[in-house]
Amino acid sequence: MYGSMRPIITELDNNKKGSIRTDVADLVMVKYKCSSNGVPITQTNGSTLPLVSSTSKDAEFGGYNPFDHRTVQYPTTDMETFIHLLKGSLGSGILAMPLAFMNAGLVFGLVATAMIGFVCTYCVHILVKSSHKLCRRMQVPALGFADVAEVAFLAGPPAFHKFSGLFRGLVNTFLTIDLLGCCCVYIVFVAKNIKQVMDEYVLELNVRWYMLMMLPLVIAMNLIRNLKYLAPFSMIANFLVGICMTITFWYVFQDVPSTKSVPYITDWHKWPLFFGTAIFALEGIGVVMPLENNMKTPQHFIGCPSVLNIGMFIVVLLYSTVGLFGFLKYGDKTEGSITLNLPKDQLLAQSVKVMIAIAIFLTYSLQFYVPFEIIWKGTKHRFTSHPILFEYLLRVFLVVCTVIVAIACPNLGPVISLVGALCLSFLGLILPSCIDLVTCWEEPGLGRGYWRLWKNLAIIMFGILGLVTGVYSSVLDIIVQFNQ
């Protein structure tokens, strides 16, 4: 009557031995198949356990097409996805690229930026491909970033099952740290730009006072709970950023010095700071899975040519151009944001600083929304008596924490490098390689000569090297500046 349908074990008893580990895939189906496909609870022989059809890795070879089962209310076209990808990748990090080149040198900066861009793009490729394999294997239409990490280990070899919860937690943790770290960078960014204008036309104050004065406004904005009410702020911010970047480029491309005026390559001990800043600017891993999951034709997201390849090529080209000419223009006087290098005695240049400060200030709430949701979903079960009150208190607490961190480290360069090296090395390089390795471990296997193993290990080691050296160099810089 039920064909291949069978009862699912919904809890694992760690004290039991025997075949319990073989039923972990069943647990996956409860979490992902029932919730994603809307499978009803069916009773048989007095059992109240949910029934779902059994899964097989053969499903990924033609038995199940996840793209046919996605129900997106407002799917995006290839062009819309392309625009969203550019918008998600072209953030405030582009303004820090001249500083990255200052820590690398002109020629080495160009080569290293292209290399990091290529590796980051490749890691996005293998992450999305792994997501497609897992969707077919588990017969679910779509998976989020944290879901991909968890399901990859649950659906992989039995030895990896125990790490599924750990990697899901790591994804959410590093995403939270990354996005809250960006919020700290935004506070510093806004305060420094406003300070330069105020110093010129009003009075000179320590940059920390501007951060404190911003606090009530930032708290008020982040008490908005509905994302749709933040959309107008995003539109205004995008408009202002477009104007500011146009004026900034106009200043940068005026009277560009000779390439002989700056070093082609710097001392190697500065390279970790370049790595952290560059990967902070280039890595848009957090927006990848939501974009792909909402596409009308998700098959076009990866491949050759594809939305991802074209978008990342343009992103790397723009970042390299800004880094190259910004460093050429300002040399060893390059600031953490190129807008801080604009003339202080010209009204047009000062207007750029005001507009970019307003734009980044308005973007703070959108940046804050995702990490808050991650934290709130993990803690709201503890506050069932007055959930709305505790939600507001948590919002205020997190905003105050970001401002305190910004006040403690009021220098953009090391903070940007620290966030990039710590979080994005893991999310953008290490994690996708781990997911690809576990997903392909049994099918299609590690390849001739274990090439897939060595390839992923090389990327993982590169990510670990960048993480360790980048964090170490950034923390040393922060300590030195804090003491000063």
pLDDT at 434: 93
Measured CA distances, 9 to 126, 319, 392, 404 (Å): 31, 50, 38, 47
For the domain bounded by 75-483, which CATH number is listed?
1.10.4160
Q: How far apart are CA 160 and CA 467, in angstroms?
A: 24
pLDDT at 52: 38
Side-chain-facing half-sphere of 315: CA atoms under 13 Å? 30
Burial 267-285 (b: 16+ CB within 10 A, else e): eeeebbbbbbbbbbbbbbb
Would you say 111 and 333 are in contact if contact means Cβ atoms under 8 Å apart? no
DSSP classification of residue 30: I
Nearest of 272, 276, 248 to residue 340 by alpha carbon? 248
pLDDT at 282: 74
Q: How far apart are CA 338 and CA 326, in angstroms?
A: 7
DSSP classification of residue 40: P
Nearest of 209, 203, 166 to residue 187 by alpha carbon? 209
pLDDT at 28: 44
pLDDT at 283: 67
Nearest of 29, 91, 53, 1 to residue 359 by alpha carbon? 91
Q: Which two tokens stand for residue 387?
A: 């959930």
The segments of the chain whose pLDDT lies below 70 read: 1-63, 88, 90-92, 227, 283-286, 484
Measured CA distances, 70 to 39, 276, 302 (Å): 15, 37, 18
Would you say 276 and 421 are in contact if contact means Cβ atoms under 8 Å apart? yes
DSSP string, 390-422: HHHHHHHHHHHHHHHHHHH---HHHHHHHHIII
Q: What is the pTM of this model?
A: 0.77
Q: How far apart are CA 217 and CA 261, in angstroms?
A: 43
pLDDT at 273: 84
What is the Rg, in whole angstroms, of the alpha carbon atoms belonging to the chain?
24
Annotated domain spans of the chain: 75-483
Q: How far apart are CA 315 and CA 281, in angstroms?
A: 10
* CB-based contacts of 232, cutoff 8 Å, min separation 6: none
